[in-house]
Structure 1
Amino acid sequence: MSTKTALQGLRNWLDSQIVGQPHLTDRLLTALIADGHLLVEGAPGLAKTKAIKTLSEGIEGDFHRIQFTPDLLPSDVTGTDIYRPENGTFEFQAGPIFHNLVLADEINRAPAKVQSALLEAMAERQISVGRSTYKLPPLFLVMATQNPIEQEGTYPLPEAQLDRFLMHVRVDFPDATAEKEILRLSRLEASAVAQKPAISDVVTQEAIFAARAEALATHMADPVEEYIVQLTDATRNPAKYGDDLAKWLEFGVSPRATISLDRCSRAHAFMQGKDYVSPDDVQAVVHDVFRHRLILTFEAEASGQTPDGIIDELVQRVAVV
């Protein structure tokens, strides 16, 4: 079975289990193939936790959920050295971060020390305890969630940490048709006789690594690469594309955004079964890649501008070479 076929089967299975959230499941797989981390923002009850937990059942890997709270300590995430009196030595006890898929639930409720420990894990694929450094598994993906409704007792993520996330995905409520399907699926899962259908072929880690290599090797013509560079440059030099953009954007995106847009575009093309990257692939992922990296001016916020609206303007004004 080819890697594309295996991943397509995983995608179909995810869509059958996570009803009404195709964008979330698509972005989860994109992050898995692009080897990055995901920040998901949405109201409670929109299957954010279920999505990554279900993904862990469809691939060869383990899953752990960390509930972030204001009293959480870095050692609660990374692990700590435990004293063994029988031999008079310290032994490292690994924390929940040492799993393949990690859900950082309500990440903005954790204080800065915990966020910095998670930042090292995400960026360096390692954690430090005392003088020792420990490598994380080769297959490692963090999906962090934020609740946009309740902000009391939260610690907003700094821009530097937001930049570490490959994409920032917003999850909305399902439509009425999907809501009816959710009811049906929920009744089946609650039934004593019903069993959750298992995926026919679990995707191995080797297949995931092979998919990453294939996605990176997907052909990208020079004009498409130039288009990606021009989109990122437009956020840093918005005056070239309009005085209004210059008034709205205080800081543009970092070079990480260029790299992320390239990798996500390749992963998107790969998931669509294509052997080349087109401008459509770039435009399909640019909102999720740029959304959390743009810093708007006070004037933009006062006039009701949003990052998504500004990205729409950038897409319209930056020409495909």
Structure 2
Amino acid sequence: MASAKLLPAYLVVGPDEVKRTAAQDRLKARLEASGLAAFNLDERDMTKPQEPDEVIASLSTYPMGADFRLVILSGCEHLPKAMSEALVSYLAHPAPDTVCLIVADSLAKNTRLYKAVAKLGKQAIIDCSAKKRWELPAYVQGMAGRHGIAITSAAAEELVARSGESTRMLDTQLKKLAEVIGGGTIEVGDVERYVARTAEAKPWDFLDAVSARDAARALELYRLLPPRSEVRLFALLLGRVRELIVAKALDARGAARELASTLGVRDWQVKNHVRWSRAFTMDELVGALRSAEDVECALKGSRDSETAFVGWVLSLTK
């Protein structure tokens, strides 16, 4: 039986909505192959009142003309204790021809329900953890294929910057771009033309643009950041300059791999630092530190604080 390859239950857990939906769609598609999905699919919103006996009865119902019955329980992050315990008891001796898909935005690993599902096998936990910001562009490139398009790395970066970190929003924008472009590869210009900025610009994107010596991008992001944030941005950028100096020094010694440990950060936090540092001379970076003293003085109550800060940014990116 095809259902022998399926576990009696899975926990789809994490805030990545696209991945959660994909997990559900895969099982639905497998069920629909039988032609009797309407008789063998039960979807329940567990954020609404549910009787434990009714849910367990559904899980215990035999499939009709199909290899398995699929019961999807969504919104299981805050189940009432009676419901949670009923599911734990059921999972101790689950129905052999039913697949229970438990969907939750989050569920602690030390809960009885999590442990009950985990006991069913290594594949029972489907991790839908949120991607880190730096992982999203590559993830977007993978998502684009599901819409019959490709997207360049730079365009994916711009899409994340404009749409934010919600995978649901990113997927929606990719679908829209696919419809507008009609196939092929999405370029940066396409994203700029068809995707409105809904996400607030992040200071880290600004720092990265300065580090990459992209003056136009740096100024664009600077204008999108909250007003009168020069003091904070100055402190962050000064820290970045120091990091680039360390990166360049280590690179010159052939010890670039030691950058993260030297700075006491994670590897992903400095993954581009060495490449960025190579676009500067050491004199330029040290000179940026020296000129920072004048900028700091201007930031302390001067009417020319914005002018001084922007001038410093331009001197770094020219």
Higher normalized strand content (fraction of residues): 1
Task: Please report the TM-score for the alignment, with normalisation by the length of structure 2.
Answer: 0.33
Higher normalized helix content (fraction of residues): 2
Structure of greater relative contact order (alpha carbons < 8 Å, 6+ residues apart): 1
Task: Please report the TM-score for the alignment, with normalisation by the length of structure 1.
Answer: 0.33
Between Structure 1 and Structure 2, whose CA radius of gyration is higher?
2
